[in-house]
Structure 1
Amino acid sequence: MRPIPRAVPDRMRQLLQMPSIRWTYRAVMTRFRRLRETQAGILRDECCGMNLNWRPAARSSAHMAAVHWCHTRILWRKNRTRALLTTLLWPVVSPIFILRRVARHGRHVAQQFGVPLSRQVRDLVYLAHVLYMGPRTYYYYGLYHPGRTASASLYVQDHEILGLLDGINRDTDHRIFENKTAFFEKCRQSGLRTIPIAARFENGKAAFIDDGGRDADWFAKPEGGRCGTGIMAFRYDGPGRYRSESGRRLSKEDVMARVAACSLSSPYILQERILNHADVAALVGDALSTCRIVTYREPDGSEGVLPCAIFKMAARGRSTDNFHTGGMAVSIDLETGVLGRGVVGAEPTTRWDVHPDTQKRVNGFQLPFWAETLALCREAHRVFKDYAFIGWDVAITDDGPMLVEGNLFWGVEAMQMAHETPLGETPFPRVYLAHMKRQRG
């Protein structure tokens, strides 16, 4: 066989260095990555991106029909490839999602609530192909209960809220909420009580340290982290000594070195550990629990609080209260601050009256400092007045409420599940559409 000339690889390299070839390669690979991300998003979210729903059932609330249509328009403008693919593939993949959800939750719903599997499948097909809703919403929002399917279109799906809030916040600066150091500085300058930052690390070095010489437990977390990822805890174990979560004894210098090493990939902050109010700690244990309260400002400047506040608590031995990492969400009566029943994301068809770890009764528990907590959230929104909606995470301590963080992209799944009420029955659609109308001029 005749050998391949050695000049061929050189010619290929020369071709690959041509600007036109390199541009074409980058364009093809970018489109390929987008297609893969779209496929992964469909499988993860169980969603049909475009809500092409003009049937009477979807127009039971004119406001919510318009909100769903806003999401469709926003997705179409942002990523037409994803919008078209999710819509075209939906009739093919939705039966798979339906069977998967029925296999996971169907038997329990049939035994617990007397809903036959045949009816569950029929309802799921209706939701998927008439209302363009993911099968997970049927079990997450308890739509198998009598009469709830009729109000299904009033629910905002979890994948929708991200696009909706992205559309309404497109002209605002997101960085103040994504950067915990910037958020802390803004709160401190405005006199808002929040968790102080003792140290900040970037590229393996401490940018500043201001621990005040206090002996306390410490928490380290990514400066721009979400959902409780990347958190490290260090318990105070005597002067200059700490213990890691694995039980290893460390000096203060060891703690700083460990956090500095983590900051090589992304900036980290070190904060003093904040403890729950004594009454709250008796209910939920040591892991910090927070209230998620959503405040809003209307275009005319008036303000309010959405009646979908929840109390997030760690459960099943978890160290964080994040709902999507195993935490429990409990409804809060906005007027009184009294807790209702809880729900865990891994078991959406079960409601809890007692905490699974402490066995203390959750339903009926009165949160301390509730009036002060609401007042803090309202005051915080006056400071951050350029935003239509903000989801505040607030810890309640022995000294009163304390801001943990603000979220422009707050989830709705835990709220609607805990309250068993759609977001369409709150002021959200009216306020949202008012801001969208102002944006369009």
Structure 2
Amino acid sequence: MSAWSIDRIAQALSGAMWTFSFLPDDNSTATFVHRCFRRQSWRDAGFRERTLMYAALPFAPFVTVVLAIAFTALNGQAIKKQTGKGIIWQAREQFEIALRYAILPPWYYIFELHDDDKRQRASEYINRFEVKTCLYRILRDYNGGLPIPAERSTSCIKDKLCFLSRCRKFSIAVSPVFFVVSKGEIKAIDWRGSGLPETDLFVKPLQGENGRNTIRWDYLGSGQYRRNDGKHATAQEVLESLCKASWRRSFLVQPRLINHTEVAQLANGTLATVRVMSCRNEWGEFEATNAVFRMAQNETVVVDNFHRGGIAVNVDLHTGELGSGTCGAWGATGGGWYERHYKTGVQILHRKLPCWTELLDLVRYAHGSAFSDQVVIGWDVALLASGPCMIGINKAPDLDMIQRISRCPLGNERFGKLLAFNLKRTIEAMHQSF
């Protein structure tokens, strides 16, 4: 087993491998998912990893205490003012849910488990480490229990150029790519002119996640560009800087996309996207289960990623209507809920997204045609004047954002039920192959 990720460390220190063995047999899909995670993680772990799990267990109470102190210091006073619960009370509740449900203290605040009604459903929350370290992988490796096709789409998910090619093969709307810059060389893809196009540019790594190392260059005219941090450069200087940076990582150079006019006020100068979760259902079709609209806090930020300071809003799947927005909840300043964008004052609550039916149709078509060997996908879709446009894809979508923004655990909701259905079929297929 390779070096442990943060999710694997969280898994070991949460005590989930033991906690989940004591869950009551309530026949719920959430309990099935937890037990499936425990069983499959233990079965797949080698001797070294099992030894590390045992070694980490005595440290779990100490880690819980340290995390509770740290995150109560960040959030405790704000929650006390909001709910009337004292610091000691909050700490006691954190220990309780960590012991009973393997939910570590940071997620007490992320999921707002200081709310008594939410805490009553604590067993229904699906931990990030459950899907990231185990469940998504076995679903992907065994194709959800269905025959594995000769051609897999997994390689076209991480590599953005491969993703572009696959989307175009199936006539899925995507953003054009002017250039690929790698190892100091510039390769034209959709650009036939000389030099840089005289338009705003968006630069992102060929391989990468969470909006890291992205840059925006605004075209000022007369061959001049301004970077999102305010630096000015000529077209030649922009190309030279990209070539130099490309020795460390490869980049895509694309046009800067502009949101539909009905969304532009929320976008705050940065492209806003909708994260849509879709999953294979009982009839072999692909169903959208959850959606979140994401926007940047201010125009100096070039991505709308929730974990990089963005604001996220739950979207009603049936109507495309927005709920209230919030930032992350690692600290008290990110724990509020906003009916209006707290920087611009633009109304968020009850606003309806344009082209909503077309967006859902695009997601279902893309999953069923180009990526049908993936059981679960998190899609990032922009709403442009021309309609919905596919921006990116995630084969292991994070559930923290979905569960926080929807203010509801997913374990017994539609996503949890489809996850359990596909896991059951996968496990049966695995047993038959042995």
* TM-score greater than 0.5 by the shorter chain: yes
Q: CA RMSD in A?
A: 2.4
Q: What is the match of residue 33 of structure 2?
A: 67
Judged with a 3 Å threshold, the aligned counterparts in structure 2 of structure 1 residues 124 and 260 are, in CA distance, closer, same or farther, namely same
Amino acid at match of 2:346: K
Q: What is the match of residue 326 of structure 2?
A: 343
Residue by residue, what CA displacement relative to the aligned partner does 1:179-212 show, whole Å, maximum 9, x if unpaired?
0000000111111101111111221112334325
In 2, Cα distance between equivalents of 1:43 and 1:424: 19
Deviates more, 1:253-262 or 1:350-359: 253-262
Once the 2 structures are TM-superposed, how far is the Cα of residue 359 of structure 1 from its aligned partner?
Answer: 0.9
Q: What is the match of residue 141 of structure 2?
A: 170
Amino acid at match of 2:166: K
Contact 2:16 2:101 in 1 (8 A): no
Instruction: Pick one of 290, 294, 297 that aligns with 1:315.
Output: 297
Percent of matched pairs sharing the same residue: 27
Amino acid at match of 2:138: G
Instruction: Pick one of 138, 143, 146 that aligns with 2:116.
Output: 146
Instruction: Pick one of 183, 188, 193 that aligns with 1:203.
Output: 183
Once the 2 structures are TM-superposed, how far is the Cα of residue 40 of structure 1 from its aligned partner?
Answer: 9.6
In 1, Cα distance between equivalents of 2:170 and 2:7: 42
Q: What is the match of residue 80 of structure 1?
A: 50
Amino acid at match of 2:105: P
Q: What is the match of residue 355 of structure 1?
A: 341
Instruction: Pick one of 258, 262, 265 that aligns with 1:279.
Output: 262
Contact 1:201 1:260 in 2 (8 A): yes
| Corresponding position: 1:264 with 2:235 | no
Once the 2 structures are TM-superposed, how far is the Cα of residue 285 of structure 1 from its aligned partner?
Answer: 1.4
Counterparts of 1:364-375 in structure 2, within 5 Å, are 364-375=350-361
In 2, Cα distance between equivalents of 1:66 and 1:151: 15
Amino acid at match of 1:53: F
Deviates more, 1:254-263 or 1:327-336: 254-263
Residue by residue, what CA displacement relative to the aligned partner does 1:39-64 show, whole Å, maximum 9, x if unpaired?
896479974452532445x5455211
Deviates more, 1:74-83 or 1:113-122: 74-83
Counterparts of 1:35-434 in structure 2, within 5 Å, are 37=4, 42=9, 47-48=14-15, 50=17, 52-55=19-22, 59-60=25-26, 62-76=28-42, 77-78=44-45, 79-163=49-133, 164-171=135-142, 173-213=153-193, 214-298=197-281, 300-306=283-289, 308-316=290-298, 317-345=300-328, 346=330, 347-383=333-369, 384-434=371-421
What SS does structure 2 have at the residue aligned with 1:385?
Answer: coil
Contact 2:291 2:315 in 1 (8 A): yes
In 2, Cα distance between equivalents of 1:44 and 1:439: 22
Once the 2 structures are TM-superposed, how far is the Cα of residue 421 of structure 1 from its aligned partner?
Answer: 0.6
In 1, Cα distance between equivalents of 2:358 and 2:41: 39
Deviates more, 1:44-53 or 1:334-343: 44-53
Higher relative contact order (CA 8 A, sep 6+): 2
In 2, Cα distance between equivalents of 1:85 and 1:70: 23
In 2, Cα distance between equivalents of 1:153 and 1:92: 22
Contact 1:284 1:358 in 2 (8 A): no
Amino acid at match of 2:209: R
In 2, Cα distance between equivalents of 1:253 and 1:74: 54
In 2, Cα distance between equivalents of 1:184 and 1:354: 35
Residue by residue, what CA displacement relative to the aligned partner does 1:78-101 show, whole Å, maximum 9, x if unpaired?
443453344332122111111222
Amino acid at match of 1:377: V
Q: What is the match of residue 147 of structure 2?
A: none
Contact 1:38 1:82 in 2 (8 A): no
Give unpaired runs (5+ residues) of structure 1: 1-30
Aligned residues: 406
With the length of structure 2 as denominator, give the TM-score of the two structures: 0.87
Once the 2 structures are TM-superposed, how far is the Cα of residue 363 of structure 1 from its aligned partner?
Answer: 0.9
Judged with a 3 Å threshold, the aligned counterparts in structure 2 of structure 1 residues 387 and 44 are, in CA distance, closer, same or farther, namely closer
Deviates more, 1:81-90 or 1:197-206: 81-90
Judged with a 3 Å threshold, the aligned counterparts in structure 2 of structure 1 residues 81 and 103 are, in CA distance, closer, same or farther, namely same
Once the 2 structures are TM-superposed, how far is the Cα of residue 427 of structure 1 from its aligned partner?
Answer: 2.0
In 2, Cα distance between equivalents of 1:230 and 1:38: 21
Judged with a 3 Å threshold, the aligned counterparts in structure 2 of structure 1 residues 246 and 150 are, in CA distance, closer, same or farther, namely closer
In 1, Cα distance between equivalents of 2:246 and 2:164: 19
In 1, Cα distance between equivalents of 2:379 and 2:360: 10
Amino acid at match of 1:208: A
Contact 1:294 1:391 in 2 (8 A): yes
Q: What is the match of residue 28 of structure 1?
A: none
With the length of structure 1 as denominator, give the TM-score of the two structures: 0.85
Judged with a 3 Å threshold, the aligned counterparts in structure 2 of structure 1 residues 177 and 85 are, in CA distance, closer, same or farther, namely farther
Once the 2 structures are TM-superposed, how far is the Cα of residue 387 of structure 1 from its aligned partner?
Answer: 0.9
Judged with a 3 Å threshold, the aligned counterparts in structure 2 of structure 1 residues 82 and 274 are, in CA distance, closer, same or farther, namely farther
Amino acid at match of 1:372: E
Contact 2:13 2:59 in 1 (8 A): no
Give unpaired runs (5+ residues) of structure 2: 143-151, 430-434
Amino acid at match of 1:309: A
Residue by residue, what CA displacement relative to the aligned partner does 1:16-60 show, whole Å, maximum 9, x if unpaired?
xxxxxxxxxxxxxxx9x94xx56896479974452532445x545
Q: Which has the larger radius of gyration?
A: 1
In 2, Cα distance between equivalents of 1:69 and 1:169: 19
Deviates more, 1:396-405 or 1:199-208: 199-208
Contact 2:225 2:234 in 1 (8 A): yes
